[in-house]
Amino acid sequence: MKEYTTVKLRLHPTADQAVLMEKTFGCCRWLWNRMLADAGEFYAASDLQYIPTPARYKKEAPFLREVDSQPLCCVYQNLRQAFLYFFRNPGAFQCPRFKAKKDRRDAFTVYCRQYCTGPSIRLLKDSIQMPKLGLIPAVVHRRPLRQWKLTSVTVTKSRTGKYFCSIVFGYEAPERETAVPAAERTLGLNCSPA
C-alpha cells in the first residue's frame, strides 16, 4: 500500500532565485485567472466544459516562458480537478474562484520527473535542486529514509517574506492485518436504561 509523508524546509534563496520564485508565483496566479475566465466564457457560450492548456497562452504572454513549465502544468491540473469536483457535487464544492494578489498565499508545485540523468528534483545535504532555480540553500532538519521516493515539491512564501518548501515523499508501507476478535475473549455489554 502506497503512503505519503511530508517534510517542510526553510529556504534561503539568493536574490536571483527569489526574483524567479516571485515571477513563478505571479505567472501561476495569472494563468489560473486567465484559464478560469476563458473556461467560463466557453461554458457560457456552448454549455460545454473546456480549459485551454498553458501552451496556448505562451504566444500572447511571453513572460510565461521565463519560468519553469511544470508549475504552469500543475495550475492546469488543479483547475481541471476543481471543475471536476464542482460538477460532480456542486452542493459540497464551490465553483473555482479567481485568485487575487493579496488574498491568498503565494505557492507553486513542481512534480519530480525521472530522466535518464536522474530525477528533476534532488534533496542534497544542505540544499534542494529544482528545475530553472538551481541549488537553493535550505535548512534540512529531517533526512528522508532510503525507501522514500520524492514525489513533488510545493514552494510557498509566508506573509513575512520567508520561503518554505513542502516535499512530498511516497513509500510502500507493509499491509496491516486486522485482528479478528476471538470468541472466548469478547465481551458484549448492554448499557441501555431498562
Pairing verdict, β 134-139 and 2-11: antiparallel
Q: Taking a C-beta distance cutoff of 8 angstroms, is the pair 175, 188 a contact? A: no
Picking from 134, 94, 99, 129, the residue whose alpha carbon sits closest to that of residue 112 is 129
* pLDDT tens track for 162-190: 999 999 999 988 887 887 777 777 777 88
Domain-wise residue ranges, the chain: 2-173
Residue 112 zone, left/alpha/beta (φ > 0; ψ -120 to 50; rest) = beta
Count CA within 13 A, CB hemisphere, residue 29.
Answer: 15
Amino acid occupying residue 18:
A
- Find the Cα–Cα–Cα–Cα dihedral 16, 30, 28, 137, rounded to 10°: 20
If phi > 0 it is left, if psi is from -120 to 50 it is alpha, else beta; for residue 147 that is: alpha
Mean pLDDT per 10-residue interval, the chain, length 194 residues: 90 95 94 92 84 89 92 93 88 86 85 81 90 92 86 92 93 82 78 76
Q: How far apart are CA 96 and CA 86, in angstroms?
A: 8
Strand partners, 91: none
Q: pLDDT per residue over 53-76, tens digit each?
A: 899 999 999 999 999 999 999 999
**Entry pTM:** 0.82
The reported pLDDT for the residue numbered 138 is 93
